[in-house]
Amino acid sequence: MAIDSDVLVVGGGLAGITAAIAASREGADVRLVSHKASTLRQASGLIDGLGYVPATEPAKPLREGPPTAGRNLDPDEWPDPEGPLAEPYAGIDSLPEEHPYRLVGADALRDGLALFDDLVGDAYVGGHTDRNALVPTFGGGVKPTARYPESVAAGLASDDRPMLIVGFRSLTEYDARAFADRLEASGVPFDVAGVEVEFAEAFRADAKITRFAKALDRNEPVDGTPAREALAKAVAPHLHDVVDDDGNVDRVERVGFPAFLGDDEAAAVRADLADRLGADVFEIPMGPPSLPGLRLEDRLYDALDAEGVRFETGIPVVDYETDADGRIQHLLLNRKGSKIPYGADAVVLATGGLVGKGLDSDREGVREPVLDLHVPQPSDRYEWFVDDAFGEQPYARFGVRPDERLRALDENGAVAYGNVWVAGAVVGGADVAREKSASGVSLATGLVAGQEAAREVRQ
């Protein structure tokens, strides 16, 4: 006997969760399975929609001849991307035709973001406007983003209040002074200074960010002083470090920290620090693994629970069975050796892209490993990439090609299996890293795939 559901969603990231909730709200009985703990814990916690429209065609054509590495163009010969966009919806028409946003339309992005707002409540900000917010991230860059955690709200680059950035010597990947310099150089409308303080030194040299978060959550004593007080004390002498262009000293009105200000008690930690410093306190999203990502994961899995969606993590799909019509009947999941059949009327595949391992590749080709769906790609490997690491990489857009209802298509352009929908990074056509569109693509395609799958099941 199989474990049956109306809609079976494969993948525990943003796209999978969105699809599962969208399908559930259409009245379907939904189950979500994922191989590993959610990839949300690797994500910054920012929810971008569309920040840039990169050029997909070079300024001049590639030279004729067999494809080799030398045939690629100099980075300078590519037009600059359009952006940062004032608002995400404005750029959708300039995207390539096979982009997921072009398939599902701007309204799908709008509805996906609205669903997200509903799920996260007041933990996130940005829903009050169509415009992108500019959020400083830990490299010193400013990212255009549609929604952002409440914890980063006081740090927006469009705000003109003077800013202090706090860093710690032991956090080597996060250099507060370089960060402040880069922000300044990018022309932000406020004065900013970076400072390194002693606090993290009380912990082991390679302490995990979860260790800091836990110590602040519990307000553990650090060398005899409660953690929040100890951190505020370390920062307090620097509140007048910011000097404006005329050499005047401002008392800062907001202080930014690496994103480890608590986990379960994050809001209380921030409020406590703000109180002690007499300034707004905000977090700067960092690379993976990230506390804002972990907090979002917790919140969205609570939402799944509240919606009545069943979910299981830690078990990979290893095989599938089709019925006489070629439709997927069962997915076989590997529970530590035994293959367990999971039955479903509709399958939503939201397994991620090349980084998330929803796409697999070797020298022979790029594959979708769960259902062996067709992934369009140049047959010559040298056409998969260009020399400029940050350039328009064709492989970034690899993925399954769906129809406008997000049903997966086979190599002939026909609907594959008949009951398989795709969502998120496994869908081809977007270069989410350059576009700053990863979350938006997941929300828009997750919403449409989940709704379409559920509607099909109900018929």
Partner 1 sequence: MTRDTGHDDGDERHGTNNTDESTEGSSHSDGVVRTDGGSDIESDDRTATDGGVESVTGGSDSTELDPDAYDPIDVFPEGELDLRDGADSCYKCTSCDTSCPVAEVDDEFPGPKFQGPEQWRLKRKEDADIDESITSCSNCMRCDDACPSSVPLSQMHNEARGQFVEEQMEKLSVEYVRNRILANYRTSARLASIVPRLSTYAMNFGPARWVMDKTLGIPKEREFPEFATTTFREWWRDRGGAQVSNPDKRVAYFHGCYSNYNTPEVGKAMVRVYEHFGYEVMVPPQKCSGTPMFANGMLKDARRHAVTNVENLIEAIGEGADVIASCTSCSMSLRQEYPELFDIHGIEDVSDHTFEALEYLRIHEDLTGALEEASPGDERSYAYHAPCHARNQGLSRQAVETFRDVDGVTMEDVGDSCSGISGTYGWKSEKYEKSMEIGEEMFHHMEDAEGEVGMTECPTCAMQMEHGTGYEIEHPLQLLEDTLVA
Site string for partner 1, 29-58 (x = CB under 8 A): ----x--xx-x-xx----------------
- Is residue 329 a contact point for partner 1 (CB under 8 A)? no
Residue 439 in the binding site for partner 1 (CB under 8 A): no
Backbone dihedral region for residue 444 (phi beyond 0: left; psi -120 to 50: alpha; all else: beta): alpha
Give whole-number Cα distances, 394 to 192, 364, 452, in Å: 38, 16, 29
- Per CB under 8 A, 389 contacts partner 1: no
Number of residues that bind partner 1 (CB under 8 A): 46
Structure tokens at 400: 């399954």
Binding pattern to partner 1, positions 185-214, x when CB under 8 A? ------------------xx-xxxxxx-xx
Q: How far is the CB of 15 from partner 1 (least distance, A)?
A: 16
For partner 1, the binding residue among 77, 160, 305, 372 (CB under 8 A) is 305
Q: Does 3 bind partner 1 (CB under 8 A)?
A: yes
Sign of CA dihedral 37, 43, 44, 46: negative
Nearer to partner 1, 185 or 389 (CB): 389
Cα–Cα distance for residue pair 408/166, rounded to 1 Å: 47
Reduced to 3 states (helix: H, G, I; strand: E, B; else coil), residue 77 is helix
Verify binding: residue 306, partner 1, rule CB under 8 A: no
Residue 210 to residues 90, 215, 263, 288, Cα–Cα distance (Å): 39, 8, 8, 12
Nearest CA-CA partner of 452 in 111, 147, 120, 127: 111
Coil, helix or strand at residue 310: strand
340 binds partner 1 (CB under 8 A): yes
186 vs 313 by CB, closer to partner 1: 313
Per the rule left: phi > 0, alpha: psi between -120 and 50, beta: everything else, 141 is beta
432 burial via Cβ count (<10 Å: 0-12, 13-18, 19+): buried
Q: 402: left (phi > 0), else alpha (psi -120 to 50), else beta? A: beta
Task: Find the part of the chain contacting partner 1 (CB under 8 A) among 50-58, 144-152, 234-242, 287-295.
Answer: 287-295
Closest listed residue to residue 308, CA positions, set 10, 19, 8, 28: 28
Min separation Cβ 427 and partner 1, Å:
19
- C-alpha R_g of the chain: 24
Q: Which is nearer to partner 1, 78 or 257 (CB)?
A: 257
- Would you count residue 177 as binding partner 1 (CB under 8 A)? no
Residue 312 interacts with partner 1 (CB under 8 A)?
yes
Q: Which among 52-60, 176-184, 278-286, 310-318 is the span making contact with partner 1, rule CB under 8 A?
A: 310-318
Specify the residue, 207 or 433, whose C-beta has the smaller distance to partner 1: 207
Q: CB 253: neighbour CB atoms within 10 A?
A: 18
Q: Is 363 in the site for partner 1 (CB under 8 A)?
A: yes
Among residues 55, 178, 267, 315, which is the contact residue for partner 1, using CB under 8 A?
315
Piece in contact with partner 1 (CB under 8 A), picked from 143-151, 154-162, 336-344, 432-440: 336-344
- Spell 409-420 as b/e; 16+ CB within 10 A means b: beeeeeebbbbb
Instruction: Report in angstroms how near the CB of residue 157 gets to partner 1 at its nearest.
Output: 28
Structure tokens at 305: 């629970």
Task: Kindly state the smallest distance separating residue 386's Cβ from partner 1, in Å.
Answer: 16
- Nearest approach, Cβ of residue 189 and partner 1 (Å): 35
User: Is residue 8 within 8 Å of 346, Cβ to Cβ?
Assistant: yes
Q: At what angle do helices 106-120 and 438-458 cross, to 10 degrees?
A: 90
In terms of phi and psi (left: phi > 0; alpha: psi -120 to 50; beta: otherwise), the region of 181 is: alpha
Residue 310 sits in the site that holds partner 1 (CB under 8 A): yes
Q: Which of 335, 365, 411, 458 binds partner 1 (CB under 8 A)?
A: 335
- Report, in Å, the least distance between residue 340 CB and partner 1: 6
Q: CB of 58: closest distance to partner 1 in angstroms?
A: 22
Pick between residue 274 and residue 433 the one whose CB is nearest to partner 1. Answer: 433
Chosen residue from 61, 63, 68, 185 binding partner 1 by CB under 8 A: 68
Query: How far is it, in rounded angstroms, from Cα 330 to Cα 357?
Result: 21
Q: How far is the CB of 449 from partner 1 (least distance, A)?
A: 22
> Does residue 288 interact with partner 1 by CB under 8 A?
yes
Which among 30, 29, 35 is positioned nearest to 11, based on CA atoms?
35
Q: Is residue 294 involved in binding partner 1 (CB under 8 A)?
A: yes
* Residue 152 zone, left/alpha/beta (φ > 0; ψ -120 to 50; rest): alpha
For position 27 contacting partner 1 by CB under 8 A, the verdict is no
Strand order in the sheet with 192-197: 192-197, 163-168, 254-258, 280-284
- Stretch of 145-153, 175-183, 357-365, 422-430 contacting partner 1, by CB under 8 A: 357-365
| Residues that bind partner 1 in the complex, under the rule CB under 8 A | 1-3, 33, 36-37, 39, 41-42, 68, 203-204, 206-211, 213-214, 218, 264, 288-289, 294, 298, 301, 305, 310-315, 333, 335-338, 340, 356-357, 362-363, 381-382
